[in-house]
Amino acid sequence: MSSGIILDGGIATSAKPTGTDIYQWDWPNAWAPIQHILHEGLSRPDRSDKVKVLAKEIARRWIQTTFLAYQRTGYMHEKYDATKIGG
């Protein structure tokens, strides 16, 4: 997956950093609403099987990231680092 936003820990909010740390929606942050919207859109019945496989992969990565982060910290977070599983 070479889009630059589909990463090990989920879908990054943007494709590249802005060069500042002031934007919480900046790369490499991943947020639950974006994962959900993409999964829902790609999972529609009229989508090809290849696209549905991508939707499942997005869900798998996100669930794995949130689960591992919860195991490590005991908390669910508002955003995660999409560059690493459990980030």
pLDDT tens, residue by residue, 36-64: 999 999 999 999 999 999 999 999 999 99
Whether pLDDT at 24 is above 90: no
Give the pLDDT band (50/70/90) at residue 2. low
Residue 56 belongs to domain spanning: 6-15+25-81
20 part of a folded domain: no
1 part of a folded domain: no
Report how many domains make up the chain: 1
pTM of this structure = 0.86
Which two three-digit tokens encode residue 53? 């496989």
51 part of a folded domain: yes
67 part of a folded domain: yes
68 part of a folded domain: yes
